[in-house]
Each structure stands twice: as C-alpha cells, then as structure tokens.
Structure 1
C-alpha cells in the first residue's frame, strides 16, 4: 500500500484539486461497503495552483465548510485519507534482486537518485513490492513514489488547520485505481484517462499496480470554452449545450455547431492518448503479463469529463482500442447489490478519486472516536 503517512483509524476520503474538493465516507457492510456521506465544494483560484497549496488558511476553511455541508450522515471522525497531487509526484517501477525489507529500502533510495531530478533529502519516498500476475520472479518489482517534502508538509499543515488528523496521504492516481480497477488487478494493461475540469491525468495500470502517471493541460473546461467561443455565448450556456449534445452528430443546426466546436479539443485528446499508448509499447515492456500483452488495448475514462456524450465512441473510432467508462463502485458495491448508492452514477464519476480514498479509509482499523 502506497502512502506517505499511514495510521490505522477508520477515516473519510478527501480529494483536493486546483479548483475543487470532494469528500466521501464509506461504511463496511457484511458484503461490500455503503456510501454514507459525500459532498464537495469549489476552491477559489489561487488557493491551489498546479497541485501546490498557496493559501493553507483558505484551504482549511473550505474543507471545514464542505464537511459541514455533506449529504447523508454527518462526518464525526477527524481522521482523513487525503490525496496528494500526481503532477508533483514521481512514480517509477524498478527491479531489484530479492532481499530483506531493510535492504530493499536502501536499494530503493539508491536507485531513486537515477530517475528523480531532485536531491533525495528534499523528498518523501515510499515504495511497495508488486506481486507478479504470472511467473515466479527471481527479482522484485517495486513501485516507487516520491513527492517534495515541502508539498507534503503543506498538505499536512492545511489538514491540521482544518482540525483533521491525516491517517494516510496518497497520490491521487493510486487512489483512482483502487476505485475503478476491479479487485485491484488487471491481467491486461489499461490506460486510465481522468478528465478533470482543470487538467487530465493519465495512468497506466497493469497487473497489481500503477506503472506510469502523467498530467496533461487538456481538460473538460476546454470543451466548454470552445463552445462559448464558437457560438458566442457565456460559459454557463456553453456548458448547457455541451452536456446536451456532446460528441454525437445531431440533425439540428445547433447540435452540429456544438459538435464542430468541440471536435478540435477531442482530437487533441486523441493525439495525446495515442502518444502514451505508443510509450507503453516502447518503454514499459517489463510487466509479467504474458507475451500477448505488449500493447494497451483498453482505455478507461474517469472523472467528471467522462460524462461527455459520445466521447468514448469518438475515441474508440480513432484509437482503435476498447474505450469504457470507469465504474467507481466496482470495488464498493457487491455484485448483487439491491440498494442504490446515495450518489447517482454520472455524478459519481467526478468522485472516483474520493471514493478510492474513502475505500482505503473504510478498510482501516476501528475508529478512535
């Protein structure tokens, strides 16, 4: 389990991004989990920029406000599992000989100096051994993640100012996969595309682990802005048109205008996704998935931007791979669930990371409250 701080109380999940925050809390049931609390709020511009907290006091106040306004049960615990920004992190899978845990930590730090462009003493470094899907290995595959100490310390400080106790801090890309990758394992490599309002985050997942992460400047907001510019309407009306028509080609003139406006942005997504599909083939062959799994044949859309009508089909036609919408409930609800969650599916897509964090929080030990 990757985390830059780990205690063992039951906790809620808190996903923080540049312009918004999301809160979710799960309770363990006999089978699966139940969502008991959720909520969110917007963050003022300049509070967080590029994953770096610029105003801890304002962020703390926004967190407190969101916690008071959650839907469902009131959140009583002060313990939180919070997201750390992928765009500030370095994630790498390394191979080392089999050795004891203490020796492994020394080897990890030594190898980290080769791929992290910052002094090691300015970073927090965490690692986890990845079990192979196939083959008995004569070495260890180790997932190594690091973030600048200044970034992590700032998140710790803001959470404490909000009256919270961090039970764990975790890179958001890892939390996302906990939510959408069924049982936490995939026998085939998957490219996860988390389309947010400000940026899009890409993660390659295979076997039992994330293998690669990166951030793109592309976002769902760019679709809205394209519609606003082309149709000469404000962003509120542009958002309405975008949601109504999306990337389906309708018969009416307005729908066709919306389609033409957002196609260039969709093509930018295709160009960037294609680049990382190719990257996998040339840079990440060491996956122990069998000879047939040398290419990515599945793309999973996540985040609020995945709700854009026709987006999966548009990508599929150009990329020639399967494109699906990630299900953030796959590891929460039992297969035969009769009870509907508090959060509707479309809205839950923007809570995928928060639900992954909440899932980790619900799997911890007994509450200290």
Structure 2
C-alpha cells in the first residue's frame, strides 16, 4: 500500500548513495519524540538510478544501520520504506463521480493512458483529493504507480535483513508529511512547493488543498554540483562538499569562485521552478496560488540558497524543519544533518499521527 497508514515502525529512507533510519515514540505527555536515528553511506555500485544491483550489499548495510545507531536504539523489526522517485509515477487524474466500489476499476482503466508501462506490471494505489470546486463534475484522484520489479527487489532486500516491511511509500509523501503541519485538518488558501535537492536528483512537490497535487523529477543533483566544484577547483569531493556548504552563494567567500559555479545550477533550477509554477496554474485551475517554497535535501545545505531563490522568484523561501511535528526538544543532529533525514522522519511519522491529511 502506498498511502494508507499502519502500525508504528522504523522509517527507512533507501537512496542510491545512503540509507537513513528513524524511529519515534510517544512520551508521557503523548507527544512524539525521537527514539533512534542512524545513517550509513553506500558504495556507488549498490544502486544504479534507483535499481538494486548488489542486493547482498544492501542487506548487509541495512543490518549494520540498525545494529549501530548514531542515537538511541531501535526496538522493532517493522519498517516503512520509501521507493525511488525516479522509478515511481505520481499523477493527479480525474474520473466521473461514481459509487465507491467502482472507483478502483475506473482508476485502473484511466491509469493506462497516463503511465508508460502496462498497469499489470505495476503496483498502484490512489486516494481522493480535495478540490476548491463546490460542485464537482469530475472526481480528482492522486494516483501512485511503481513497477513490480522495483517493489519486489526492495522488499526482498528488506526481508533478507530480517526486517518486516509494513509499507512502501513514494518519496514525495513522507517528505510532505515531515515538513508540513499535519496534526490537524485545517485547509490553507495557498499552495506550497517543496524542493528536495538530493544527491542524485531534485524533486519538486506541489502541495495544495491538503494533498500532493503533482511532482516533477529534475536532473539537478547535489552530488553533480559537488563533482563540478571538485573538477573546476581541483579539490577532492570531500573538500568540494565542505567548501560548497561553507561558501555557498556568498560572493565574499572562496574568492567568489564557489558562487560562480553554483549560479549555473541555480539558474537552471530557477527556470525549472518557474516552468512548474506556470504549469500548475494552467493545468490545475481549481488549485490555489503557490505562495511559499520549502527547501530540503542534503543538496540544499549551502549558504544563501534561500535568499537567492527568494530574490529570483519573489516568493517566501525557507529551509524545511523535519522536527516540526515532534516534541520541541534538543535534536542530536545539526540543522544541516537533520534536513537529510527529512524522508526517514516522514516515514516514521506515517502511523504515529492521528491525522491522515498528508498520507
């Protein structure tokens, strides 16, 4: 299942170059707090564009991840994991109003027109979404589709690590759950765009009317930028990553060399964001105006990125806070490290929240 909540479990964020795990618990005040947290880097040979190439290595890494936590201790074998964004399809479709028991079959027929592979070769799930229209002639539905071979290989690796997969989610869902307040059903009269700059790609997620409306995957990556910096400035990748974080877009740092390189990536990103904002306005007429941008992902962890986007897009831009739905308490991670755990925290939140606003 891709959307519906189940029992509490470890949030397991599996990506091409790292794995992160988070477990939450309720304290005596009934508030959610961190129980355990862990992260481990993966060799570049384990994955290729979201596909597992070395299953045994992944299984061993999962075992090490949970037996050697950075904070606390994990006390369950149940996990909720995410699927690679590059291998999943999320799309809003609409169907005629009909009895509840007929919706599933109608969505299956409609999905054939929207995904590039046969529907029988996929696992898929859906949820009805809210609309601004008082009288709907069509029923808007959020559809999530994943190839069976991707789900099956991820599930096998998890089971081989002696873990019990309760659910697999498309990545946009836990990211949204983690960064937006989802403990109540209040409806906003504006839309939010989340920009997740990851190691291997960037995702744009538009959230409106308490639902994900659409997502876009972009060929812009934090690791790609780091490699460009390393090559241009003749640094190691570790040196380039540190310099990127410290200097960022500040022209007074690193003699302006870092800002010059990052501006190339930022110009591309700004253009893609503008295109997506126009697309949402033109293709989702029932939606609200996008009035806020939230940044997340390790690739967004460099100086002045928020101010640069704010100036270029003329929209409020802020760094995401994955701690938003947890008990205010000291975090064992620095802000730059915490933002890389956004997805894992969102996965751990899945069954812990009473509200299903963003599930």
**TM-score between the two structures when normalised by the length of structure 1:** 0.89
Aligned 8 A contact 1:13 1:361 in 2: no
Task: State the 1:109 CA deviation.
Answer: 0.7
Task: State the 1:362 CA deviation.
Answer: 3.2
Matched, 1:273 2:273: yes
Aligned 8 A contact 1:245 1:255 in 2: no
Please list every run of 5 or more consecutive structure 2 residues that lacks an aligned counterpart in the other structure.
355-359
1:139-158 aligned at under 5 Å gives the runs 139-158=138-157
Matched, 1:177 2:176: yes
| 2:20 aligns with one of 6, 19, 22 | 22
Corresponding residue number in structure 1 for 2:258: 258
Aligned 8 A contact 1:21 1:43 in 2: yes
Residues in 2 aligned to 1:34 and 1:298: alpha-carbon distance in whole angstroms? 27
1:257-316 CA-to-partner distances (Å, cap 9, x unmatched) read: 2222222122122122222122212222233xxxxx3x4232211111222110011111
Matched, 1:116 2:115: yes
Residues in 2 aligned to 1:167 and 1:302: alpha-carbon distance in whole angstroms? 26
Residues in 2 aligned to 1:78 and 1:306: alpha-carbon distance in whole angstroms? 32
**SS in structure 2 of the partner of residue 114 of structure 1:** coil
**SS in structure 1 of the partner of residue 190 of structure 2:** strand
Task: State the 1:10 CA deviation.
Answer: 2.0
Corresponding residue number in structure 1 for 2:54: 55
Corresponding residue number in structure 2 for 1:232: 234
Corresponding residue number in structure 2 for 1:312: 306
Corresponding residue number in structure 1 for 2:42: 43
Residues in 2 aligned to 1:53 and 1:274: alpha-carbon distance in whole angstroms? 34
Between stretches 32-41 and 133-142, larger displacement belongs to: 133-142
Give the total of aligned pairs: 350
**SS in structure 2 of the partner of residue 242 of structure 1:** helix
**SS in structure 2 of the partner of residue 352 of structure 1:** helix
Aligned 8 A contact 1:316 1:322 in 2: yes
Q: 1:304/1:285 Cα in 2 relative to 1: closer, same or farther (>3 Å)?
A: same
1:85-234 aligned at under 5 Å gives the runs 85-132=84-131, 135=134, 137=136, 139-183=138-182, 186-234=188-236
Task: State the 1:226 CA deviation.
Answer: 2.9
Task: State the 1:38 CA deviation.
Answer: 0.5
Residues in 2 aligned to 1:320 and 1:353: alpha-carbon distance in whole angstroms? 27
Aligned 8 A contact 2:39 2:70 in 1: no
Task: State the 1:8 CA deviation.
Answer: 3.7
Corresponding residue number in structure 1 for 2:357: none
Corresponding residue number in structure 1 for 2:339: 349
**SS in structure 2 of the partner of residue 14 of structure 1:** strand
Residues in 2 aligned to 1:40 and 1:63: alpha-carbon distance in whole angstroms? 10
Residues in 2 aligned to 1:5 and 1:172: alpha-carbon distance in whole angstroms? 11
**SS in structure 2 of the partner of residue 341 of structure 1:** coil
1:31-59 CA-to-partner distances (Å, cap 9, x unmatched) read: 43101101111111121221111222111
Aligned 8 A contact 2:132 2:286 in 1: no
Task: State the 1:178 CA deviation.
Answer: 0.4
Residues in 2 aligned to 1:317 and 1:352: alpha-carbon distance in whole angstroms? 25
Residues in 2 aligned to 1:149 and 1:5: alpha-carbon distance in whole angstroms? 17
Task: State the 1:96 CA deviation.
Answer: 2.6
Aligned 8 A contact 1:95 1:139 in 2: yes
Residues in 2 aligned to 1:187 and 1:132: alpha-carbon distance in whole angstroms? 11
- Kindly report the root-mean-square deviation, in angstroms, between the aligned alpha carbons of the 2 structures: 2.1
Residues in 2 aligned to 1:234 and 1:61: alpha-carbon distance in whole angstroms? 28
| 2:294 aligns with one of 300, 304, 324 | 300
Task: State the 1:138 CA deviation.
Answer: 5.6
**SS in structure 1 of the partner of residue 290 of structure 2:** coil
**SS in structure 2 of the partner of residue 240 of structure 1:** helix
**SS in structure 2 of the partner of residue 261 of structure 1:** helix
**SS in structure 1 of the partner of residue 112 of structure 2:** helix
Residues in 2 aligned to 1:343 and 1:231: alpha-carbon distance in whole angstroms? 30
Q: 1:322/1:40 Cα in 2 relative to 1: closer, same or farther (>3 Å)?
A: same
Corresponding residue number in structure 2 for 1:81: 80
